[in-house]
Amino acid sequence: MGGMSVPSQPSPTPDSTPPTRHSFLASFALVLTTLPLASWGLCVSGTLDPDSRAAGSIWIGACVFSLLGALLGLINAIRLRPRNGERIEGRGMSWWALALGLLSPVVSFFLGIATVNFHMAHGRALRRGGRAQLPPPGSDMGWVEDLRTRLDVPPGVAAAWRAQAGMEAASVAAFAHLSNELLALGAPAHLIEKAHWDALDEIRHARLCYGLATAMDGQAQGPAPFPAAVLTRDRRLDVASLAAECMVESCLLEAASARVAGVLSSRSEGPAEIRAVLDIIAVDEARHAAHGWEIISWCREVAGTAIDAELRRALSRVDVASAQAAVEHDELAAWGIAGPTLWRQCIAETLADALARLGEAPEHSLAA
């Protein structure tokens, strides 16, 4: 083998690495650090449903990438230590990536708590991007029933009833949209008529709930103007989509709300006024759910039982375990406010009923 020479490769040195490469790594690290804030932005804009398991997974994944961005920034900043007074591109950006990568998960967490409404709406909700739209607090006393009494309740109860009132007021818009969609799709007049009656019920619920809250804390608070009420809904307009939405919003959530109100009324130890409001809501929401099944039956007449698979899929996407109540504990049930345990239990029971009803009579009308 003597005489053969192998040309030696020049060994790479850190100094030979082009500066543009370093800048790219620092920029990449910086992009990673923005991901938690981007996921918060998706929730705030309504593109991503903050109540969904997907939103939680996306945020956690974004935080992991942000921390990786911080690590990459640190490694890059050490690698780019200047020698012999040379100026190296990308080192300052790397330090920024380190700082932002650590801060971004914390900042996005607190921004989320401060600005995103994570509560699942009860009953039929007006949604955009899966997120329930609620009227902001205001002072329109036309929405506040004067109950001519003062109710003595523990702290937090009045605010929870006022939050419930906001959900009821938002349901008015949801039923207005429903009646418009039924009209657009050529539904029979009696279904459109019932959607309007349901909306009137929701106005009554909202007034009663705002009235209870005012009787409890004396504050003259109703809703403010609610511009989201006129936003067009962000899904296709066809019979199958209407049926899938109706299955979840009416047949499941309205029925679950009726079940919750019935249980709370039977457990209520507080003032009789609370029980009276719960009884009205329980009866009305059960009727709204029945109207939902009538709409489903009409949709199946028009589109055939082929849509049943889509209806089951819509129900299967409901994440019972992460359904959130108006309050995060179960201690206000005696005052007519459902906590997560009762709310999830009622959704789970109603979900099982709805799936059984769909499975039992696939070829028959599903209306009661």
Residues 126/229, Cβ–Cβ less than 8 Å: yes
Q: How far is the CB of 121 from Fe ion (least distance, A)?
A: 10
CA nearest 273: which of 162, 163, 150, 156?
Answer: 150
Q: How far is the CB of 110 from Fe ion (least distance, A)?
A: 33
Residue whose CB is less far from Fe ion, 204 or 357: 204
The count of C-alpha atoms lying within 13 angstroms of the C-alpha of 153, restricted to the half-sphere facing its C-beta, is: 31
- Segment interacting with Fe ion, rule: CB under 5 A, options 105-113, 195-203, 264-272, 349-357: 195-203
| Residue ranges in 304-339 assigned as alpha helix (H) | 308-316
- Segment interacting with Fe ion, rule: CB under 5 A, options 24-32, 44-52, 204-212, 290-298: 204-212
Select the residue interacting with Fe ion from 69, 90, 101, 123 (CB under 5 A): 123
Residues contacting Fe ion: total by CB under 5 A: 7
- Segment interacting with Fe ion, rule: CB under 5 A, options 33-41, 147-155, 259-267, 288-296: 288-296
Q: How far is CA 90 from CA 29, 31, 87, in A?
A: 11, 14, 10
- Segment interacting with Fe ion, rule: CB under 5 A, options 33-41, 203-211, 310-318, 356-364: 203-211
Q: Which residue has the tokens 């609610």?
A: 226
- Segment interacting with Fe ion, rule: CB under 5 A, options 40-48, 123-131, 310-318, 348-356: 123-131
Q: How far is the CB of 160 from Fe ion (least distance, A)?
A: 15
Select the residue interacting with Fe ion from 288, 291, 300, 344 (CB under 5 A): 288
Select the residue interacting with Fe ion from 51, 249, 285, 308 (CB under 5 A): 285
Question: Does 273 help bind Fe ion (rule: CB under 5 A)?
Answer: no
Select the residue interacting with Fe ion from 22, 119, 162, 205 (CB under 5 A): 205
Residue whose CB is less far from Fe ion, 44 or 229: 229
Q: How far is the CB of 24 from Fe ion (least distance, A)?
A: 55
CA–CA dist 178, 197 (Å, integer): 12
Which residues make Cβ contacts (< 8 Å) with residue 341, sequence separation at least 6? 330
Kindly identify the residues of this chain, within the stretch 145-184, that bind Fe ion according to CB under 5 A: 168
Residue whose CB is less far from Fe ion, 62 or 323: 323
Q: Output the six-digit token pair for 84.
A: 């012999």
Residue whose CB is less far from Fe ion, 168 or 308: 168
Q: How far is the CB of 174 from Fe ion (least distance, A)?
A: 9
Q: Output the six-digit token pair for 59.
A: 């945020």
Q: How far is CA 105 from CA 31, 40, 54, 65, 99, in A?
A: 13, 10, 17, 10, 11
- Segment interacting with Fe ion, rule: CB under 5 A, options 35-43, 55-63, 152-160, 248-256: 248-256
Burial class (CB in 10 A: 0-12, 13-18, 19+), 327: buried
CA nearest 178: which of 117, 250, 83?
Answer: 250
Residue whose CB is less far from Fe ion, 254 or 273: 254
Which residues make Cβ contacts (< 8 Å) with residue 318, sequence separation at least 6? 248, 252, 347, 351
Residues 326/163, Cβ–Cβ less than 8 Å: yes
Neighbours of 317 (CB within 10 A): 11
Binding residues (CB under 5 A) for Fe ion: these are 123, 168, 202, 205, 254, 285, 288
